[in-house]
Amino acid sequence: MEFMTGVKEKETLELSELLEEGRLGEEVKVNGAVHTIRDMGTVAFVILRKREGLVQCVYEEGVTKFNLKDLREAATVEVTGKLTESEKAPNGIEIRLSEIKVLSMPKDSLPLAVSKWKLNTSLEAKLNYRSISLRNVRERAKFKIQEGIVRGFREFLYKEGFTEIHTPKIGAKGAEGGSNLFRLDYFHRPAVLEQSPQLYKQMMVGVFDRVFETGPVFRAEKHNTKRHLNEYTSLDFEMGYIDSFEDIMAMETGFLQYTMELLKKDYAKELKILDVTLPDVSKIPAIRFDEAKQKVSEKYGRKIRNPFDLEPEEEHLIGQYAKEEWDSDFVFVTYYPSKKRPFYAMDDPQDEKFTLSFDLLFRGLEITTGGQRIHDYDMLMEKLAKRGMTEEGLETYLDTFKHGMPPHGGLGIGMERLTMQLLGEDNVRETTLFPRDLSRLTP
Amino acid sequence: MEFMTGVKEKETLELSELLEEGRLGEEVKVNGAVHTIRDMGTVAFVILRKREGLVQCVYEEGVTKFNLKDLREAATVEVTGKLTESEKAPNGIEIRLSEIKVLSMPKDSLPLAVSKWKLNTSLEAKLNYRSISLRNVRERAKFKIQEGIVRGFREFLYKEGFTEIHTPKIGAKGAEGGSNLFRLDYFHRPAVLEQSPQLYKQMMVGVFDRVFETGPVFRAEKHNTKRHLNEYTSLDFEMGYIDSFEDIMAMETGFLQYTMELLKKDYAKELKILDVTLPDVSKIPAIRFDEAKQKVSEKYGRKIRNPFDLEPEEEHLIGQYAKEEWDSDFVFVTYYPSKKRPFYAMDDPQDEKFTLSFDLLFRGLEITTGGQRIHDYDMLMEKLAKRGMTEEGLETYLDTFKHGMPPHGGLGIGMERLTMQLLGEDNVRETTLFPRDLSRLTP
C-alpha cells in the first residue's frame, strides 16, 4: 500500500524548462522521439521531437557513451548531456550528449518523410498515415491552433455567463429533419445520430439562460466536396433574453476577438510555424441576404438565378466583396429566406419570406449558421403544421414552450472549417484529425 | 449595412452586478423567469429566476404600473425598479417594482412544482420533464458542478502540457471489441459507434506526447442498473514517456486536487445549495487488486468467489475499507487481472496474469479505468493473436507501433459517475442531463 499525493516531479525537462534562464551549462536529462539524425562522421546531430518543439543534441564519438549505429529515426529516447548555447540550433540551444537511453525502437522505417519542413505528399497519404503524418511539425501545428480556437470559445463563453452542457448524440429525431440522418437500431427501436444539439440547447435556455456545447454532430449528406464532412465538431451556443438576433452576431464577434487575442498570446509559435496572419476582427460588416446577392450581381456581372438560395460561387463572391469594400475577411449575411431555414427559425415579422437569421462567411466560406428561434408555443405549432411535420419525437421540446421561454437565439460554428479558413487550407480534411466522408471510415 | 464590433452592452443587470457595491438605491432593470409569485393582497413578492440565482421583486398595487393578474409563474419578464436592501430576501436585496414588461407568457401551468426547495417527485418524472425539472434551483446546481468538474479537467491538463483532440465517434471497429457496440450503416458499409477514444488517443501520443478529450462514448450494454448509461461523457487522457503506471495515477490525483480547489473557488454557491462537502484528496491510497480482495474478505467475512473479478459489492466494501483504514473517499485498486482488461493493456512482467493497470473507486464505485498500454509492436501482435483477434479495422493503429511509440498510458473517467458520487446521488441518471438507457431514448 502506498499513497498518491499529486503530479510526480520529473527529472526530465521540457523545452520551455530548457529555455529558462540560468540553465545553460547544466547537466540535463531530456526525453523525446528521434526526429532526424544528421551523421557527420565523428559528430552527429540528433534532433529530438518534443511536444513543445525540436531540441538539437550533439553526439560525439568517444564522448557520448552510446553506439550511434544503435539509434534510428522514430526511436524514443532519454538523453543526458550538457546544455549549451548554439546560435544555429532551434531555439538557440543544444545538448552535448553524454548518454543515450533507448526507450523504444521502431520496427520499420517511416512511410513519410516527416522531418522535412513541408510534408511533401498527397492529402490521401497524409490521411491514410494520420498517426505518422502529424509527427511533421507543421502538420501538428494546425491542430494546436485548432485547440486554441476551441479553448477560446469556451473561455470566452464562461466569462459571458454561459453554462457548458453535454447533450446526447443518440436520439429519436433529428433537429433539422430531412433525410440527412444516420440511422441505427437502439435496442430494437429506431434511432438517429443527432445533426445538431439544437433542440437540447434551446430547452436548456429555459434553465441556464445561456448555454454552450462543443461536440460531434453527424450529417449523412452525400456531398463529396472540399468543405463537407459527415461528422464534425460543432461549437454551439444558445442565449436567452436577446433583444434581437444582432445580439448573437455581436456575441460571435466577441468570441472571434477574444480568440484571436488568445492565439496571439498562447499560440504564437504555431502561428509562426504556419506563417499565419490573424484577420482583423475589430468590426465585422453585416449585410442582408437579398442586398448581398444584388451587390455581387452588379459588381461582378453575375446573374441571379435563384433569389432564395446562395450558390457556393456567390458565397465566395460575397466574401470577395466584403474584402474589397470593407477590407474585412468576415461578413455576416442576414435575413436568410425562410424556406432555407429549419422549422424553429423565427420569421421576420416585416416579411415572412425571410428569417431573423444569419450566416457568417469567412473568406467566402460559411462557417456559422445562427439566428433567433421561435419562443412562442402557438407560433411553433403553426410553423410545424405549415411544413407538414409531426410532433413525433419532439414532445418534450414542444412542451417546453408551453411553460414559458424567453426570446432566444444561437448559432453553430464548424470547428474544422473555421480552422481551415484561418490557416488558408483548401480542403477541410487538412484540418480534421480523422475525417469521416463518403469514402473514409478509417483510420 | 452595419458593423458588429463585439458584445453588446446590456441595460439589464445580472445578479452579480446587482450585488456590486454602490448599487443600492439605484433604479435598475432586470430580466428573468417568474419563479414564484407570493400574493399578499396589496403587496406581492415576485421571485425572478436568473442564471446566477433568485432575485426578489416587490409588487405594490398602485405603485407598480402593471396588473398583477396579468402575470403568471413561468412568464419571462423585464422589470424596472429601485434596488433596496432586504435582510430576508435571497442575497439580501430586493427590487421595488415600478414597471413590469412581459417578454413571454406560458400557455399551461407547470407540470412540476419547480419553485419548491426540494423537487419532490420521482426520477422518472424529473427525466420525462427534463427541461422543466432542471428549473428547480437544486436540480440545476448539479449540472453547474458538473461543468466545474469538466472545466477543472481541461484547465489542469492544459497546464500539464496536454493537447486537446477531437476524434471520430463513427468508426470501423470498437476499441474494447466485444458485443457491446451500437452498429450502423455508413453509406452501405458496416460501422460502429466508438466505445472509447482509446485507439485514437494512443496514436496521438506519438504526435503530441500528451493528449486529452472530453466527449461522448457509446456502450450497447444491456445492463439496467443505477450506475450504467448507454451513452456517457468520458474524460480521457493519455500520456507518453511514463516511468510506470503510477505516473497516471499521480496525474489523476493532481486533477482531483486541482478540481476540488476550482469547485471551492468558483462553485461555492452550488456546493452550498446542495450541501456538498468536498472530499480530501491530498493523498489517495493505492492497493493491489488481490490484496484488496483479501483484506476485504478478512475484515468483513466475505468469501472470495472469483479471484479474477470484483463484484459490485466487493467494490463497495473496498471503498468502506479505504474509509475506515485510511479515512479516504478514494482508493486506487491496482494490478487488475489480464483477462478483465482489453488487448492493449500492458501485462505485469512479474506476473502476466495481472496488468499494470488500475481502477479508481470513489466511495465504493468505479469512476476510472486506466493503466499502461503496450507500446511494442511485436508484443501487441502477440497479445492480439493470443486473444484470437484479427487486425481488421486496426491497421493504422497497429502500424503506428511499427514506427516508434514511447512508453505510455492513460485513463477514462465517467463524468456522470464522478458527479453522482461527489453529490451523493444514488442514481447516475440524477447527474445526466438527458440519459440514454435500455428504455430511454427521449427526451
Instruction: Read off the CATH number of the domain in which B389 is found.
Output: 3.30.930.10
Verify whether the Cβ–Cβ distance A165 to B143 is below 8 Å: yes
Same structural domain for residues A236 and A382? yes
Interface test with A, best of B157, B207, B362 (most A CBs within 10 A): B207
Number of domains in chain B: 2
Q: What is the mean pLDDT of residues A15-32?
A: 97
Contact B203 A131 (CB under 8 A): yes
Among candidate residues A104, A121, A156, the one where a domain is terminated: A104
Do A412 and A271 sit in the same domain of this protein? Answer: yes
pLDDT score, position B14: 98
Residue B414 assigned as binding residue: yes
**CB-CB: which of A103, A182, A393 is closest to B407?**
A103
CB contact under 8 A, A143 and B131: no
Examine the domain organization and report whether B59 and B173 are in the same domain. no
- Do A363 and A419 fall within a single domain? yes
pLDDT of residue B177: 67
Which chain B residue lies closest to A111 (C-alpha atoms)? B403
Structural domain contains residue A352: yes
| B81-104 average pLDDT score | 97
Domain-located, residue B114: no
Q: Identify whether B248 is part of a domain.
A: yes
Q: Considering the domain boundaries, does residue B257 fall inside one?
A: yes
Shared domain for B172 and B303, answered yes or no, is yes
Mean pLDDT of chain B, nearest integer: 96
Q: Are residues A99 and A141 in the same domain?
A: no
Domain range holding B219? Answer: 137-431
Q: Is B219 annotated as a binding residue?
A: yes
Nearest to A24 by CA among A63, A98, A82: A82
Partner-chain residue, chosen from B6, B147, B395, that has the shortest CB–CB distance to A163: B147
pLDDT tens digits for range B94-111: 999 999 999 999 999 999
pLDDT digits (tens, 9 = 90+) for A266-282: 999 999 999 999 999 99
Tell me whether residues B209 and A158 touch, CB distance under 8 A: no
pLDDT band at residue B403, thresholds of 50, 70 and 90? very high
| Chain A residues whose beta carbon lies within 8 Å of the beta carbon of residue B435 | 168
**Residues B254-288: tens digit of each pLDDT:** 999 999 999 999 999 999 999 999 999 999 999 99
- Using an 8 Å CB-CB cutoff, list chain A residues near B186: 182, 441
The pLDDT value recorded for residue B309 is: 87
Residue A193 has pLDDT above 70, yes or no: yes
Q: Which residue has the higher pLDDT, B177 or B96?
A: B96
- Chain segment A299-356, per-residue pLDDT in tens: 999 888 888 888 899 999 999 999 999 999 999 999 999 999 999 999 999 999 999 9
Q: Which of residues A58, A84, A104 is at a domain's end?
A: A104
Is A66 in the same domain as A203?
A: no
The mean pLDDT of A104-112, rounded to a whole number, is: 96
pLDDT tier, A184 (very low <50, low <70, confident <90, very high otherwise)? very high
Which of these ranges, B156-170, B318-332, B385-399, has the smallest mean pLDDT? B385-399
Q: Please, what's the largest Cα pairwise distance for chain A?
A: 85
Using alpha carbons only, give the angle B27, B28, B34 rounded to the nearest 5 degrees: 130
Which residue(s) pair with B203 in the sheet? none
Q: Is B220 one of the annotated binding-site residues?
A: yes
ipTM of the shown complex: 0.97
**Mean predicted lDDT score pLDDT of chain A:** 96
By C-alpha distance, the chain B residue nearest A139 is B207
Query: Measured between beta carbons, which residues in chain A are less than 8 angstroms from residue B406?
Result: 31, 33, 76, 103-104
Q: Is residue A3 part of a domain?
A: no
In this complex, do B433 and A165 lie within 8 Å of one another by their Cβ atoms?
Answer: yes
CB contact under 8 A, B332 and A8: no
Region of poorest pLDDT, from A131-145, A240-254, A387-401:
A387-401
Average pLDDT for A257-262: 98
pLDDT at B179 over 90: no
Asked whether residue B121 is assigned to any structural domain, the reply reads no
* Claim to verify: residue B30 and residue B157 sit in the same structural domain: no
CATH code of A44's domain: 2.40.50.140
Clarify whether residues B100 and B145 are in a common domain: no
Q: Are residues A52 and A170 in the same domain?
A: no
Say yes or no: A407 and A297 in one domain.
yes
Q: Does A440 reside within a domain?
A: no
Nearest-Cα distance to chain A for B96, in Å, is 21
What pLDDT was estimated at residue B3?
Answer: 97
Answer whether residue A109 is part of any domain: no
Interval B191-222: pLDDT, tens: 999 999 999 999 999 999 999 999 999 999 99
B198 and B97 in a common domain: no
* CB nearest to B404's CB, from A7, A106, A396: A106
pLDDT digit string, tens, across residues A64-93: 999 999 999 999 999 999 999 999 999 999
Query: In this complex, which of A1, A246, A251 lies closest to B285 when CB atoms are compared?
Result: A1
Instruction: Test A433 with B52 for CB contact under 8 angstroms.
Output: no
pLDDT confidence band for B159 (50 / 70 / 90): very high
Residue contact B104–A406, C-beta within 8 A: yes
Q: Which of A58, A82, A104 is the last residue of a domain?
A: A104
Chain B environment of A405 (Cβ under 8 Å): 76, 104
Q: State the pLDDT at residue B188.
A: 94
Cα–Cα distance, A390 to A173 (Å, whole number): 11
